[in-house]
Amino acid sequence: MGTPASQGVPLVSELCIRPMRVEDIEAVLVVENLSFSTPWSRKAFEEEINSNDLAHYLVVEEAGKLIGYAGFWSVVDEAHVTNVALLPECRGRGLGTLLLEHMIAAAKILGATSMTLEVRPSNTAARNLYSRRGFVERGIRPNYYAELGEDALIMWLDNL
């Protein structure tokens, strides 16, 4: 069968994680629309980047192509994760963990001591990602995802 390297697949790719810019929105919308049943609009991302002083967004590029993004709001000493998304073909490679670690580091620099998020109970991959990093379930927001009739689990990571 062989290893990925022996099959011509590079073991290490050219990755770049950097702050999101307005010119990234078109590519971010592709990721968004492939990732969520009720995706954010272009206007929502524009407002986050241009007008929301609490918002901090990162993108991950591979070989110059935007393949994912993540964001959070920094409110006093808490960071609230808003989104984490990757192109479907890029999932399962540890890139979500990489984005999450970069968000945690950025939140610490901004003075956050804890991080929170909401996640669908049915989103097992995301729940596993957050649990592996130490997030714990601390509550439920009933009907948070009203369009799907689904509650949200509230997860927290203390002592960033």
Residues with a known catalytic role: 118, 130
Give the separation between CA 16 and CA 109, rounded to whole angstroms: 20
Give the separation between CA 56 and CA 65, rounded to whole angstroms: 20
Which one-letter DSSP state was computed for residue 75? Answer: E
Tokens read off for 103: 């968000």
Q: Where are the alpha helices (DSSP H) in 36-111?
A: 42-51, 95-109
